[in-house]
Every structure is written in structure tokens, then in C-alpha cells.
Structure 1
Amino acid sequence: MTLQVEQFDAQGVSFVSVTQAFNTTSSMGRLTLNVLLSFAQFEREVTGERIRDKIAASKARGIWMGGNLPLGYDVKDRKLFIVEGEAELVRHIYNRYQELGSVLPLVKELDASGHRTKRWTSSKGNVLGGCRFSCGAIYHILGNRIYLGKIVHKGKAHKGEHPAIIEPELFNAVQTKLSANRVKRVKRKEKATASPLTGKLFDADNFPMRPTFGHGRGKRIYRYYVSETLIPAGQTTNSHNRKGVRISASRLERVLGTTLLPLLPAGSDAETVFKAIARIRVRDTQLRVRLEMSALRGEDEIDNDVLDRAQQIDATSSINGHHLIITIASTAVPRGSARSTPDHIIDDTERRRLLADLVRKSHKLLAKLHASPLHPGDHIGMAAAINEWGRQRVAIGLLAPDIQKMILQGKAPPHITPDLLLNSDIPMKWEEQRRMLGMG
């Protein structure tokens, strides 16, 4: 009301009440209006307090005061009563969690069995529920004290008017297991280094890429960004899609930090680069990055200054509203047998290092097999590689000397990648090798 009066004043309009003796053209009329507004606000607040107090008092007496109906119960005359079929499912969830000790396999088991969340009709006639169980829904059921026959209000549990579904012993045992698992998850998360691209990274299908990590030898932590469709929780809700990307977090962050740092004002660091990133989309061997223009402009700089710097990195860079769009070309290096799922995006420096490592490792393997061209005297005990992994690397050690020298010196052309060497049928003749690799 106060805002409307101010708008009236700005337009030279006065407000005159028909039922009250005041108008806003006089000081007394303004005072009367403000007093009435203050009392109206006071009345609203008192009414709200009384309603909240009534709800608290009713819940303290164990009365159901409405809300989403919990699985296992229905309501009649503001009283909950047990729906036996649903109650049996609740008991099954508690018992199976106690046996499995983890929510995720329980969610998959319920989904495979065709179980769904509670389906009910609201007072407005809207049909709600009937969805697949998610991990969050199971956690809510396992921690809901309404199944003990209690009503909870602001953290305090009161004896309810409805009957219990779960025995206190089973409920307490489940809470103990939940607490133990929660502590483990917190400790594991604390060990993982922060992932600055969380919430900003998306794959080619526009699915978010979540940070995850694994442990290697010597308790070393390996961080990754993984498509939602490849992690267990994402597979539950996206069962139709099993495509995705797994990218080494440290390599991706290094590529972005090194490439994008020249775009920022002097004195910026990698952390500033990550803050400036609004969104990244991973497409095959390209990173399409959207950056905040406000973070890129230095003092006395205009948008065109930033664009000039960006086009030195990517000639197709452009400004769209408040964002700079830039594409970073990188090489995708597949790992393991999942050739369609690259897990490392590397820059040219990383490509040269990986190529040199392949040559060195291949010579170590040849020496172990007594087949090294550098030690012909050992060839009497020559053995063959016993698997595909070894055969791929042996062939690299038998490349023409000039090709190996170029790789070791870091002078290999950009089109020669670790993936090319590992997945090509390398001929034995050196001239054919040079033609195959486009090295004349």
C-alpha cells in the first residue's frame, strides 16, 4: 500500500478514503494511513503466531496436521490409519536396508521389482506420486519417525494418535547403520580435493558431469568428472541412457587454466579462471566454454579488447550478451576397453609427453622380452608378447628410428596421438610407417 501511495505522489494523484475521513494530500491523512497500515500488519502477524501455536499444540497431542501422506498410511477425519499393502513395503525397505547396508542397491532392487512411491489424490483432485524410488526418497523413509507412531514438530517427537509400522529395535538399528555410512561418506569427501568445475560442466548430450574420485597406490586420490548417466545414482533415473564421458579432473583443469589465463587481467590465477567460467560443454575433442565478460575486462578495457585476446586462441570466439564463447580444441585419449568414452582431455604438451612415454615403455617391454633392437645379442631368448596390450606397445618400439627420435624430442606433428599409435596396424617397413603417419 505504501508503494502505491508513493506511485500516486509521483503522478500527482491523491488517495481519498470513502469509509475513513482521510486523504493523502494532508499530513494528518498520511499519519492516519500509516497508523492503519501498522495495525493491519500487526493483526496479520498475530494471526500467523496463533495459527503456528495451534499447529504446535495439536502436534504435541499427536494429531496429524496435514502434508504429504507418508507411504504406508492414509488419512480419514484427520487421523492416519495403516494401509497394509504399503506398510508391508515399508517393512521390506527397512529389513532389506539392514541386510544390504546401502541405499543404492536397495533402490535398484525396488525398481527391478516394479515398486513405486505412494500414489494419492490431493484435496484439489491432483494425482501425485507413483514414481520410481530415488535414493533421497529411501533416506527419507528410513529416517521418518512417523513409522514409530510419532508426530515430529521442529525436531521434537510426540506420541501420535496413529499406530506404528516399524518396531523401535529395527528403527534404531537402521539409524545406527545410516550414521555409520554417513561418517564414511563425509570422510571420503574430505579426502577428495575440491572440484572447481562442479555444476559448470556438461557432456555432449547436455547431462551434467559430476565430480568423483578413486584411490590408487599409496593412497593417492584420482579425481574425475563423470557424466551423470555413468554414475550409479544417475543410472537409476536415466536407465535409458548409458552414454557418457569420464574426464581426468586434474588434466582438464590444467588445460583450462593454461589456455584461458591470458584472457584475464594481469595478476589473475587459475582459481580466478574457474570463477570466470559460467558453463563448459564437452563435445568429442572440443571444449565449448562460456565465460563471464565482467571477469575478463581489466581497467579501462572494452569488450572488443577481450575479444581480440580470445581470437588469438580461437578465431571463432564471439561475445553473446554478457558472455564470451570460446572453443578449445583438445585431444581425447581413451583408456581401457571403452573406446567410445574418452576419460582424458589433453593439450599439446601432454600429448607430446604421453607419446614419449609410450616409446620409452615399449623399449622396456622389448628388453624384457629379449627382443630389443638395441640389444641384438639377447635375441636368442626372444619371447612374444602374450596379450593385445603388449603387442600394441611392442609395435611402437619397432618404429623407424627417425620417427622415434622425432617423438622423443617432442617434434611429432599434431595429428600423431597416443590413440593413433595404439590403435593402428603399424606395418614393419619403415617407408610404409612414414606414409601411414604422414611423415613423408
Structure 2
Amino acid sequence: MAERKRCAIYTRKSTEEGLEQDFNSLDAQREACAAYILSQAAEGWEQVDEHYDDGGWSGGSMERPALKQLLADVEARKIDIIVVYKVDRLTRSLADFAKIVDILDEREASFVSVTQAFNTTNSMGRLTLNILLSFAQFEREVTGERIRDKIAASKKKGMWMGGPVPIGYRLEERHLIVAPEEAKTVRMIFERYRELRSISRLVDELAGQGVKTKERTYRNGKIVGGIPFAKGSLAHLLKNPVYTGKVHHKGNLFDGMHEAIVDQALWSEVRSIFTANGADRKLGKKSHNPSLLTGMLTDPDGRPMTPVHGCRGPKRYRYYVTRYATGEISSDPWRVPAAELDRLATQLIRNWLRRSRKPGLAEEMAETEQLASAFADLPLVEKRRVLLERRLRFRLLENAITISAEGDSPANQLSLPAQMVRRGCETKLSLPPDDRPVSAPDPVLLKLLAQAHAAQQMVIDGHAAPNIERYSKGHISRLLRISWLAPDIVSAIVEGRQPKVLTGRRLLRAAGLPMDWADQRKFLGFG
């Protein structure tokens, strides 16, 4: 008697069209597979009762509920053979097919295609399947490209290519037609935003007037919309170029075949208000309690930190707190007093501005030094403008805070110590004094830098420099080597942050000092 083999039938259809019929494509696939299993009864094949049907799911991905259940049952050794009508019903991806075959091999299961009579239990069957799936994947990719090209060409002609019909229009034969009553509402919304210049105030006004979003009924009878406008839906409406008679596709606008509801002048005015409000919001003008580092600060785990506040009587307490992503489990968030952190960040910004001065440009160096000196006294809006223009980012560590420009390498960042300490039940930051450097610069190293710069200028200008020409050629040559130090190494020496092993004697006698900046850091002990 043949060994019993449990067979599971898997069926799939890419779209939901026709699935509501009494006998649909899934039924036809299952019937053919069942007949094939029955023909192999002498080999011990038996059909399991469970149905594995994926109606309306693409074969280009393994994220299908019935397929996941099928593979789980294979791994649980409940199934010996998977039977499908055609190979592409199981998958259209070679990579996914390889994963499925690995699962089958591991559990000593196999795979059979009824119409193609393939079996994965032998190497020739696998080779043939791989060839067949290569063509199936190629067909899927070519079809996708053809559809994308058709959509792009249609949109360039201004055709509406589907999606939720925006309020103000109705759909007739794949064309947007203006709905007069809804169009009046759309024009009123644009005009009121131009007057109010505020999304929040407009949301409240529309809610008071009973103005609601467009109600849509889907084929399955589900009704969406018909609710008061929220900030997001209202902003989307005001930014939608379809109301100017345009069609949007991948960042480009094309003249649409539909009629405009809003004239170009009103649209442009609304867009300029949006742009101005966005800039003001970044600077903190729109906030009742703006914070210096909003949108620029991350915690030691790399998560963004957001400003919050609490009140105890008339006094307001401000903090920066870790902001977790939606659905992320929040455990042990960082919570730091904002005033102390802002003070430390201000000191760090001044150091960064001084380091960013470009040697040789006297006027620019003077302006940067003036900005660094006056930064602490600037209004908060102007402080944020300085940070945003330079695209600065801050990161709080357990014992320091760092600053760097967006895209900079770690070697170019600056840091200041900031030890977290507990005072009762509250966390505080232990900060260095505002106007005192973290450590005193080495006067010998500073003198060497000044002499190196003077030697460099002497060589470039071709004129003897005071106090330099009296040195020997060997000494001037050593000074010239020092003049080509990396900017961040020079900054570290000026600020007293160089490694303790880097002394004036060692720097002057470093005959093998590399010209490459990265190699210089390693050579001089900057890690």
C-alpha cells in the first residue's frame, strides 16, 4: 500500500473581479487540482479539507494571507504536497519561488503544477520551473512598465487616471466634470484661507458652518467621507493643483482636460501664504512657546526629541522629551530640562561658528566672529534662522551634546560635556560655565599655529615675514608642514580639545606628518 501523502490545493486570482459569481476562477482552479489529486489516489494522495484561496492578491509578493497560512502548515508538517493549477498561481517571482522551495525541502514536502506536470522533488523539475518563472517574472515586469508608461502618457494629455474624485467634481466616462454646488464650496474655502491665513482657524470656521468632506460610495457599499474637515484633509485640498485645471504626475504638472475651479491668481496667492506660514513655523513664529532646538535634536538612541512643558502653579517648566514613532513601545524616554540644554547648545553653537571661519577672508571672519559673540543675545527667531540656514543638527549623549552640519562626517562634529545628574526625583544637566572653555588651550601649540600660518603666507606672497625669516630652512619647513593641518585639528587646538599626548614638541618634530587629513587625525592621536 502506497504511503499516505496529504495534498493542499492553493488557488489565486490577481483581481476581485468575478469572485462574487457562484462559480468563479478560484473554483475552476480547485476543481482541476482536486481531479488531479484523485487521479493519483493509487500513489496515496489525499486532499486536505482546508481551502487556501487568495482572491484579489498579486503573485508578485508573498504577503498573501492564504499563502502565509499554507507555508505555516507546511512548516508544521501538516502538508506533504502543494498542488496548483499553474506555476504562476503560486508566485511570479524567482526570488520568492526560491524561498518557497527552501521551505518545502526543509520539511521534505514537494510542489506540483497540474497543467504543467512539474515536480520539485527532482533537479530537472526545478530547472524547468526556474525557466518558466523567469518568463513569468519578465512578463509581470513588462506589464508593469507598460501600465506605468500608459498612465504617464495619459496624464501628459491631461486625462484623469483614477483615484478618489476630489470635492468639486464628479466623474463621467473617466472625465472630471465640475459639480456646481461643490465647486462653490471649494472657491469659498480658497478665498477664506486667503483672508484668514490659518488652517486651524479655517477648520473651526468650516466646522461651525457645517461644511464637510466629499462623501464617496465604493462598489462594496462602503461609504467614506461626509465628515468635518481636519487640518490634513483641508491642507491637501488647498495644495491640490487639480483645481487649477492641472494634472500632477511625478513632480510635473500638465494641462488637464477638465475645467478649472480656482483661477491661477488665487491659487498662487494661497501657495505663497502656505510657503510663508511654513517658514514662520520653522522659525518658531507660529508657536506660543517656541524652543531653540525644535526639529534638530536627537537623543542617545537616535530618536527625535520634541519640546513639552508642564506648569506648577504660575511657573512653566520646559523639557525636551524623546518622541516615539506611532505604535512604537515607549520605554525609558529621555527627558531633559530645556533651559539648561538650550544654554549648552548656545555655547556649542558659538564654538562651531568660530571654527567655521575661513582663514584669509578677513571681512567674512569678522562677520562670523561678530555673529558668534552676539548669538546668545539674538531673539529666538533669529537664532533658529542661523541654525536652519546652516542645517545644523544636535545629538544628546549620556555625557555630552554634539553639533554638526547635516551631511558632515563624525570627524567634523564638535561636542561639549553635559553630565546627567539626579537631584531628588528630577534629572538635571551638569554644564560647563557659559564663557569658559572646556579646557585651557596650550600656548605653545597656539604659537606654533600662528608661526605656521605666517610661514605659509611668506611662501605664498614671496616676501619675508617678521620673526620668521630669521629661522633656519629646516625649521621653516617643519612650520609649513604644520600649516596644512586639517581644519578640525586646528579648531581642537584653539579650543583646547586636543589629545593630551599632542604637545608642541611632538607636533614640531613630527617629520612623518601625513598630508591626508584622515591620516593626520590618526597620527596625532585624535582617534
TM-score normalised to structure 1 length: 0.46
Larger radius of gyration: 2
